Structures are given as C-alpha cells and as structure tokens.
Amino acid sequence: MVVYADMMSPGLKKELDGTDIPYVMLDCYDPDIRASSVTVNNRQGIYTAVRYLLEKGHTEIGYVSSGTSCSSLVERRRCFSYACEDLEVKMCPEWNIVTNGSGLEAQAYLEELWKSGVKPPTALLVENDMLAIPVYRALKRAGYTVPDDVSVIGFDGRSICSIMEPTLTTMRVPRRLLGRTLIMLLNGKIDMRSRSMEDVPIRLEMNAELVEMASVRKL
C-alpha cells in the first residue's frame, strides 16, 4: 500500500500503527512512524531556485505560499528562509507573501496587495506551479508584466508550465522516478516480511531539476 497524505493526523497515525498491510509513504514523512518513505528534496530544490535567481542578477526575491498545512509545502517555506540566510539574500516581510488560499482567492488577495502600493520584488518564487497561475493574473491586473517587471519561478514541473504565457520556469519533480522507487521499496518490504526479516525504515529524497523557460529575466 502507498500512503500519500498532506499531513499526518493523529487518526491516520493510529490507523497506520494498527494495520498489518505493508506500506510505504509518498512525499510525506513522520519520524514517529516506522515506515519507509520517498520524498522530494525541497531544500535542494528551493536552494537551486534562489541561487539561479541570484545568478540572473536578482537581489530582491520574494516567496508566495498558500498558507496550507501540507507538510511538503510547509517545508518549502522553511527552506526558502534557510536558502536566503545561507546565500545572504535580504528578506523583506512584504515579499514573504501568504495568500491564505489558492485560485481566485489568491488572485484577489495578491491583486489588492500590489494595487495598494506594495511593490513586488524583481523575482518571486512560488510554492507550486498551480499557485503561479493566480500570481501571473494578479501581476497583470496590477500593471506588472512577467518577466519584464517581475520574474517568476514555480515548483513541481507540471505540464501546464509549457502552456502558460510566458512559459513558466520551474523546479521539476521526478515523478516517474518517485513512482519506481516507491514500488521498489514496497516490494522489498513485502519480501523482508515473507522472510521474517527485520524491516528497517529508510527515507529517500529525490532532487528537483531546474527547467528554464521564459518567465525569468536576466537583470
């Protein structure tokens, strides 16, 4: 069984503790649960994105998040702070944006923010590709263009990146490799159980790959 959960609730932990079915965890991790997991290396992905923007000449770099409690996205927010501190990027509170929603809610929030006189930084790193859609729309309605005024990077590498206008630079998650690795771990877990061998949980992290498109401008 493959377990995918935005966050580990007490109820889910209890169910997993009581199950006799072999399972592995996808893109979620909890040190209190003895299970192998495959996750995205968010720290590497965010660090690579921030460093790429610096190489393009951007020193004003902001982060847009939805505020969700999804463990992977919470980790990405933390990793952005770590990367900025490590790379000595100035962090401005007005550039660390939490929309408290997605889709039209996020667009309305961002549009109001940028129309109110709060100027966006020259580059925005967005927690995932889907949230980049309302970011694009809000920037346009507030009078800014991508990438001439504001460069944007997403995360996940979804197919929608190639049809956005302009096409969205993103950190691509290796989904097929994630899937193959999960099956390998699950088969190993089943095999060890059949041999009455001790199961030692492991956590594997997959690096994200920078995919350059048209949404980042060199200053």
Interval 111-128: pLDDT, tens:
999 999 999 999 999 999
Q: Is 110 helix (H, G, I), strand (E, B) or coil?
A: helix
148 and 115 assigned to the same domain: yes
Query: For residue 5, is pLDDT > 60?
Result: no
118 and 147 assigned to the same domain: yes
123 and 28 assigned to the same domain: no
Query: For residue 2, is pLDDT > 70?
Result: no
Evaluate whether residue 218 is within a structural domain: no
For the chain, the domain total comes to: 2
β-strands 169-172, 123-126 pairing: unpaired
**pTM for this structure?**
0.87
Q: Is 46 helix (H, G, I), strand (E, B) or coil?
A: helix
